[in-house]
């Protein structure tokens, strides 16, 4: 061990478990790639104002959880706590919305940073795969994204997840609801912090996890009763499209999400094997975000799925992903001369596309065969000077234990045949 440890709330991805993370990222991205989403990558930090305006001045993410810093040049930056604001900023900056081809559909994968109280499933550095469809108002687009997330989870073999669905209304109907909710909340017995929240962001109070608060919320006005006709019709269409696609959902009128940019459709995927950090993914429509960060009106929708929590969900369901072995063939030279020659064969196999590794460091046969077995390789190639002088190598099947001599200049072919 060194003097240093990974910072609090972070952890390292280490083989062999790291292969599962790669496979999860790949499984979430696969349905997006096949549905017209292009890959986008944005910086790990942005101007702090982007998140303050985009995610919301009064959210926990902005007030408590952001890694904010001033550069030597005096710029006020923050490590990105989420991806949506950055992706929209980048799309606007590159004028992607002016190509006459809306919606602009983008997907991304990367690290995000929130200064939260660490616990199982909640980290200060975590990983998301996300998707954003920018510049179209169409219930089918909301449904598409939700279906793609469901398909991604299913392709991983997950089944104990649920989809919670809500509509948060729009600029037309939400203000009236907000007022009605404030009137109700002001009549309750709440602490000072929560009362302040009632003034700034009353919908967040519905999300308060404390029992004493939840008890008082019975009878609070619900947004569903305040939705305008347009929002109601839109939501109904999203629900119908999901039902037609065989996607089960639960209407959850208390689902408010922790970011302020949402309008209309909002949703969250929760997994029942994860305890308190049960949200494995979430998203929704954000029709006003572009204007909030200085762009034109661009109604949009998206989601982000947490990679760390998806891996925990796999563990909770006892699912082991079939990740391909990193090594298919392991080469073991016997002696100095053989080492030089066999190394050439390793390079040849690799160039032919066969995942091959080599017994480095002058190991004896016994040790080298142990390494071969540990590597997960299906085959070992063993060769001493005499073999090589005769133009052969020994090809050993590490599963059956069978061994036979093959011509050295036919190794690639023989290995391919043996691997099937
Ligand atoms: P979010 O709900 O804040 O949404 O995060 C999405 C997912 O990221 C969560 O469901 C969770 O799985 C994972 N996540 C969040 N915080 C942590 C943490 N501290 N540790 C581990 N995992 C975490 C967003 O970020 C929105 N940008 C989603 C979106 C995209 N909405 C529209 N487009």
Judged by DSSP in three states, 372 sits in: helix
Token couple for 326: 């990193």
| Residue given tokens 């602490």 in the structure block | 191
Quick one: DSSP state of residue 122?
Answer: B
| Residue given tokens 């030089």 in the structure block | 340
Quick one: DSSP state of residue 119?
Answer: B
Q: Which of 54, 82, 148 to mutate to test the pocket of ligand 1 (most atoms within 8 A of CB)?
A: 82
Token couple for 141: 């687009």
Quick one: DSSP state of residue 6?
Answer: P
Nearest in space to 137 (alpha carbons), one of 291, 5, 265, 325 = 265
Q: So what's the pLDDT on residue 346?
A: 97
Quick one: DSSP state of residue 360?
Answer: -
Token couple for 168: 């948060």
Q: So what's the pLDDT on residue 420?
A: 87
Cβ atoms of residues 15 and 95 within 8 Å: no
Integer Cα distance of 60 and 396 in angstroms: 59
Token couple for 214: 């939840």
Upstream peptide bond of 300 is cis (omega within 30 degrees of 0): no
Beta-bridge partners for 129: 109, 305
Q: So what's the pLDDT on residue 299?
A: 98
Token couple for 236: 């109904």
CA triple 141-155-325, angle to 5 deg = 135
Distance of CA 321 from the midpoint of ligand 1 (Å): 23
Question: How many residues does this entry show for the chain?
Answer: 420
Integer Cα distance of 384 and 363 in angstroms: 13
188: left (phi over 0), alpha (psi -120 to 50) or beta: beta
Where does ligand 1 bind, in terms of residues with CB under 6 Å? Answer: 82-84, 114, 116, 122-123, 126, 128, 130, 132, 258-259, 279-284, 286, 302-304, 306, 308-309
**Residue having the nearest C-alpha atom to atom 31 of ligand 1:** 283
Q: Which of 282, 289, 305, 308 to mutate to test the pocket of ligand 1 (most atoms within 8 A of CB)?
A: 282
pLDDT digits (tens, 9 = 90+) for 238-255: 999 999 999 999 999 889
Distance of CA 356 from the midpoint of ligand 1 (Å): 38
Q: So what's the pLDDT on residue 8?
A: 98
Q: Which helix (H) or strand (E) holds 270?
A: strand 263-271
Nearest in space to 308 (alpha carbons), one of 24, 8, 86 = 24
CB atoms within 10 A of CB 178: 17
The list of the chain residues with pLDDT below 50 reads none
Long-range contacts of 187-194 (CB under 8 A, 24+ apart): 188/216, 189/216, 190/216
Max distance between CA atoms of the chain, in angstroms, equals: 93
Token couple for 119: 């616990």
Q: Which of 309, 310, 311, 313 to mutate to test the pocket of ligand 1 (most atoms within 8 A of CB)?
A: 309
List of domains in the chain: 17-173+227-316 (3.30.930.10), 329-419 (3.40.50.800)
Beta-bridge partners for 166: 266
Q: So what's the pLDDT on residue 206?
A: 87
| Residue given tokens 């390793």 in the structure block | 346
Work out the mean pLDDT of the chain and round it to a whole number: 95
Cα dihedral 279, 59, 259, 124 sign: negative
Integer Cα distance of 80 and 66 in angstroms: 8
pLDDT digits (tens, 9 = 90+) for 297-346: 999 999 999 999 999 999 999 999 988 788 999 999 999 999 999 999 99
**Residue having the nearest C-alpha atom to atom 9 of ligand 1:** 281
Q: Which helix (H) or strand (E) holds 180?
A: helix 174-186
């Amino acid at each position: 061990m060194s003097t240093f440890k990974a910072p609090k709330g972070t952890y390292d991805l280490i083989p062999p478990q790291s292969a599962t993370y790669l496979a999860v990222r790949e499984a979430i991205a696969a349905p997006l790639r096949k549905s017209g989403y292009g890959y986008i990558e944005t910086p790990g930090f942005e101007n702090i104002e982007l998140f303050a305006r985009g995610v919301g001045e009064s959210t926990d993410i902005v007030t408590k959880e952001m890694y904010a810093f001033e550069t030597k040049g005096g710029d006020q930056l923050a490590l990105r706590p989420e991806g949506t604001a950055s992706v929209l900023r980048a799309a606007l900056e590159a004028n992607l919305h002016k190509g006459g081809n809306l919606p602009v559909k983008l997907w991304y994968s990367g690290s995000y940073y929130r200064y939260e109280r660490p616990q199982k499933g909640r980290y200060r550095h975590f990983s998301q795969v996300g998707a954003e469809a920018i510049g179209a108002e169409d219930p089918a687009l909301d449904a598409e994204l939700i279906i793609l997330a469901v398909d991604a989870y299913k392709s991983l073999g997950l089944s104990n997840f649920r989809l919670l669905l809500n509509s948060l209304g729009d600029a037309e109907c939400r203000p009236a609801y907000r007022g009605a909710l404030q009137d109700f909340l002001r009549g309750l017995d709440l602490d000072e912090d929560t009362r302040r929240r009632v003034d700034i962001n009353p919908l967040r109070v519905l999300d308060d996890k404390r029992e004493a608060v939840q008890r008082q919320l019975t009878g609070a006005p619900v947004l569903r009763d305040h939705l305008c006709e347009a929002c109601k019709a839109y939501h109904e269409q999203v629900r119908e499209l999901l039902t037609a696609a065989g996607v089960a959902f639960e209407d959850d009128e208390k689902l408010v999400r922790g970011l302020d940019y949402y309008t209309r459709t909002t949703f969250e995927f929760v997994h029942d094997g994860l305890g308190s950090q049960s949200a494995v993914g979430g998203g929704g429509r954000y029709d006003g975000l572009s204007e909030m960060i200085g762009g034109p009106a661009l109604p949009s929708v998206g989601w982000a799925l947490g990679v760390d929590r998806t891996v925990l969900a796999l563990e909770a369901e006892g699912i082991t992903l079939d990740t391909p072995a990193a090594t298919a063939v392991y080469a073991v030279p016997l002696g100095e001369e053989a080492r030089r020659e066999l190394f050439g064969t390793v390079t040849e196999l690799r160039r032919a596309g066969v995942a091959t590794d080599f017994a480095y460091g002058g190991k004896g046969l016994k040790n080298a065969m142990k390494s071969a077995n540990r590597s997960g390789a299906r085959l070992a190639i063993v060769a001493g000077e005499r073999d090589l002088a005769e133009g052969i190598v020994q090809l050993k099947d590490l599963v059956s234990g069978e061994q036979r001599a093959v011509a050295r200049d036919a190794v690639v072919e023989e290995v391919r045949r043996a691997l099937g």
